[in-house]
Amino acid sequence: MKIELTTQQKDAQAKFRAFVDEEVIPYANRYDQQERTPPKLIEKIAERGYLSAVLPKEFGGIGMDMITYGLLNEEIGRGCSSLRSLLTVHCMVAHAVCKWGNKSQKEYWLPKLASGEVIAAFALSEPNVGSDAKNIETTATLSGDSYVLNGQKKWITYGQIADVFLVFAQCSGKPSAFLVEKNSPGLSIQPISGMLGVRASMLAELHFRDCRIPQENLVGKLGFGFSYVASSALDYGRYSVAWGCVGIAQACLEACIQYTSQRKQFGVYLKEHQLIRQMITDMIANVKAARLLCYQAGYLKDISDPSSIIETSIAKYFASTTATKVANDAVQIHGANGCTNEYSVARYLRDAKIMEIIEGSTQIQQITIADYGYQEYMSQSASTVSQNLLARA
């Protein structure tokens, strides 16, 4: 069965690609070297409604279907993984507020998030807590009509410029989620620089020292923080990252086809060498496979199939490992040129490695996917036994 995009999806994809070709790709290496995303670029993606992609129209959003949202992430990821990371974390927070926020939170925050008037960041990771997110150490204590936060968050994407953070903290031993504005008393923000990849994503550490926020800033109920708010947001994040990885791999493929068609060695173009053609073949096959897994996850999300969660994990696992492999081969094909800032493949490789760590590391995905495999096997075995017993009765 061939997957066919609708006319609307094809038109959207063409617009996304044109925007990235014109406004992102020519400058992405500079953003990487300067370790910043220009405000003007963020304004441009906000003007096009990309920051409101997952929000319903009633709150000023576009209400994209998940396939179209995936195509957006692929194209922006093809141009700049840092910019795609902004799309990821901003939409994660918007989705969380839309799904779990109360009426006043939705009415106040969602239109601002949709327009880009407010930039949001997702604050879960801590210095001592990464994959083991249930055991966050930041605390929230109810004091009168306020919550008082103490602790530290680290590796917060676009934390340097975010206006509001979705912060996860333990409240009486219950992981809970809170909206914290950047100017809240007791919150200090420290930039992080010198990262391996996604250098323009303006990471930050957040320090909470008796940071007081209104009681109504609790998102959902106490204890809902990880199992509900964070989990649903992270599922969206994994989906975005998976498509972004397809974008990285596609960018590598395009760069290699162009490079091997122009550079000669031993009197012939590189593309005439059989080993180069083998590497290109592997790239094409793996990029297509990763994209198909993302299509599958997106389709299941659009029809609200519960299996979309595990299929998203599978897509993220395969796409991120594929991006790293393809980027590694791209650097190899480019030789010494691939190890310089002059060619983008060096950035693609650094960014791809980060993709294997964020939104659930490769190893966490392996654990999750293997558990699913064993559960499916046991379920199918039990069903077969039951059918055999009924047949004998």
- Per-residue confidence at 377, pLDDT binned at 50, 70, 90? confident
Measured CA to CA in angstroms, residue 274 lies from 218, 250, 269, 333 at distances of 60, 21, 11, 13
Instruction: Check if the beta carbon of residue 319 is closer than 8 Å to that of residue 286.
Output: no
> Virtual CA dihedral for 363, 367, 369, 371, nearest 10 degrees?
180
How far from chain centre, in Å, is Cα 50?
Answer: 14
- Per-residue confidence at 64, pLDDT binned at 50, 70, 90? very high
Q: Which helix (H) or strand (E) holds 263?
A: none
Longest dimension (CA), the chain: 78
- Three-state DSSP class for 262? helix
Q: What average pLDDT does this structure show over 44-73?
A: 96
Residue 1 pLDDT: 52
Q: Which helix (H) or strand (E) holds 94?
A: helix 81-100
Closest to 44 (Cα-Cα) out of 72, 24, 17: 24
The answer to whether residue 385 scores a pLDDT higher than 90 is no
Looking at this protein, which amino acid is placed at residue 84? R
Q: Which residues are catalytic?
A: 359
Residue 392 pLDDT: 66
Whole-number Å distance between alpha carbons of 230 and 250: 30
Measured CA to CA in angstroms, residue 228 lies from 89, 100, 116, 175 at distances of 17, 8, 25, 10
Per-residue pLDDT tens digits for 130-180: 777 778 999 999 999 999 999 999 999 999 999 999 999 999 999 999 999
Whole-number Å distance between alpha carbons of 148 and 144: 10
Whole-number Å distance between alpha carbons of 21 and 4: 24
Per-residue pLDDT tens digits for 183-216: 999 999 999 999 999 999 999 999 999 999 999 9
The answer to whether residue 393 scores a pLDDT higher than 70 is no
Instruction: Check if the beta carbon of residue 280 is closer than 8 Å to that of residue 287.
Output: no
Closest to 53 (Cα-Cα) out of 106, 92, 99: 92
Residue 132 pLDDT: 75
227 secondary structure, DSSP code: I
Instruction: Kindly write down the DSSP assignment for every residue of 266-314, as one continuous string.
Output: TTEEGGGSHHHHHHHHHHHHHHHHHHHHHHHHHHHHHTT-TTHHHHHHH
